[in-house]
Structure formats: structure tokens, C-alpha cells
Amino acid sequence: MQIIEQISNLRGEINLWRQQGLKIAFVPTMGNLHQGHMTLVEKAKLVADKVVASIFVNPMQFGVNEDIGNYPRTMAADQEQLLTAGCDLLFTPTPAIIYPKGLDQQSYVEVPNVSQHYCGESRPGHFRGVTTVVCKLFNLVQPDIACFGLKDYQQVQVIQTMVEDLSMPIEIIAVETVREASGLALSSRNNYLNKAEKNIAPALSKNLKWLAQAIRSNDDFVGLAQKAARNINMAGMKTDYIHICHARTLQPASKDDKELVILAAAHCGKARLIDNLQVTLA
């Protein structure tokens, strides 16, 4: 596995692969990798000749009250995992390489509508930071395919919309969420949980499953979501939001919608956990 930091070296290697007619898949990450990330790499290997991963803790997507300095960085362990998974190239740029003018002078990409609610409302500017860095990484790597985890369901829809709106020739592959035996979705933020909180956190996914079953026989979407939020709070978490939405537009679901997604976020100790569950109604 090649490890490259500089843009010129990355482009040089990508150009060599292109000259050979090789298909390239890309897995962008912020590091602190777990099995969920490795599932993305495994999927990428199945659909392309070469797999590029990136590790970049993106300062643009952190809000004013979010401490980027505490974000877990485990570069040596991450490299070992990617090597074992068969990644061909790891791109590890610094903020100075990605944002040479600094954040205040950086052009940005913003996706309307689908990015404005839920995590977009709870974390102002977050999705602008995500789409800006992903757009820039797409321009650098020039992948045919990019793999993203469905644990960040809203993020996948935002990126898919950006790719469509900007006519990027990139196929976005969404990969199912990897979970612990308890049902807790794998996330780097799970590292913030202490033992007691780790026991509480599965209440989020359990209530999503309950809600998914409840809406099959009751179309009071708002009332049911409020009940699920109360259940999550009673378990010892603090619900940020829980909504039943149209699976593609992420607008509040109507009684006529058949393809739905339940989006949720809740605080458990220092960790803000997100999860979702897709539901198809008959």
C-alpha cells in the first residue's frame, strides 16, 4: 500500500492507473477506523481494480462547540487495517495541503434542501464542510466509484445530490451499517462511551426497530416518533431528534409515502450518536 501526502504525488499515481485503463474506487475517512470502514474497503475491492482511501480530519465540518482536537487519531493502527484489507493507496493530506488559504478564504460547496434539517440543523455548517472536502477529494482522486456507509444516511443523500447536481461521473455506492451484537452502530464516536454508557447506547437502535414496526400499522408518524424519543430519554440518553422521512428527499413522510427512513440522533454522555433505519411500507 502506498502512503501519499502530497497532491502532486497522488495525481501522478492516479494518472498511471488511468493510462492502464484501471477502474478506481475511493473510500474517504477521518481515520480512527473500525470494521464499518473495512466493509467499505472490501466493497470497493469488489467493484474496482484499485482502491484509494483517505484519512483527513476535516476542520471545516466541525462546529464552534465541537472540539476537533479531541477527535481520536490512530494513524498507525489505521494503516495496518487498510493494508490488511487490501487498500492500494492511502492519501493522508494535512489541513495546509487541503486548505492552503485557510478556512476563511476557501471556496465551498453547499447542497440545499437535503442538508438543511436534522444533522444540518443540529450542526450548522457541518454539511458545507463535508461537501466541500468530498468535492475536493473527488477532484483529486478522480474515482469511478466512491463508497460511503449508510450509518450516515443523510450524508449519503447529500453527497449523492451533490454528484448529480454537479454532473460528476462518479457512482456512489451506499454500504449497509455494521453493528455490534447489541445493535449499536459502529462509529468512531463510540470511543467516547464509558462502560455504563455503552450499555445504554443500544436503546437508540432498539427504539428505531420498535418505531419501524409501529408505523406499519399506525400512520401517526409524529406521535410515534415522539413516543420513541421519550423511550430513548427514559433509557438515559438525550434525544436530539427523531423523524420519519421520505427516503430520498428526507422531507417529513406523508401517509402516501412507501419508501421511508427513520433518522435519529441522541446524546449519550459526551458522545452524539446517530442512527437510521429504512422502512418499506406495503
Residues near 273 by Cβ (< 8 Å), separated by ≥ 6? 184, 185, 187, 189, 190, 201, 204, 237, 265, 266, 267
- Residue 222's H or E segment, with its range, is helix 221-234
Is 37 catalytic? The answer is yes
CA distance 170 to 173: 10
Decide: helix, strand or coil at residue 134: helix
**Cα angle 55-6-93, degrees, rounded to a multiple of 5:** 25
- Region of 167 please: left (phi>0), alpha (psi -120 to 50) or beta: left
Catalytic one of 34, 37, 117, 126: 37
Listing DSSP states for 183-221 in one string gives SPBP-GGGGG--HHHHHHTTHHHHHHHHHHHHTTT---H
Residues with catalytic annotation? 37
